[in-house]
Amino acid sequence: MTDSTLMTSDLDLLAERVERAAMLVSKLREEKQALIRERDDLSRRLDELGDRLQGQDATALMTELQQLRKEQKEWHGERRDVATRIESLVKKLERLEG
* Global pTM value: 0.47
- Please compute the mean of the pLDDT values over residues 35-62 and round it to a whole number: 88
Q: Give me the percent of the chain exceeding a pLDDT of 70.
A: 97
* Side-chain half-sphere exposure of 81, counting CA atoms within 13 A: 6
Domain co-membership, 50 together with 63: no
Structure confidence at residue 97 (pLDDT)? 83
Name the 3-class secondary structure at 2.
coil
Domain co-membership, 61 together with 34: no
Q: Which domain holds residue 77?
A: 57-98
Domain co-membership, 65 together with 90: yes
Domain co-membership, 51 together with 70: no
Please state the domain count of the chain: 2
Domain co-membership, 4 together with 46: yes
Helices (H) and strands (E) in the chain, counts: 2, 0
Domain co-membership, 48 together with 82: no
Q: Compute the C-alpha angle 47/49/52, nearest 5°.
A: 110
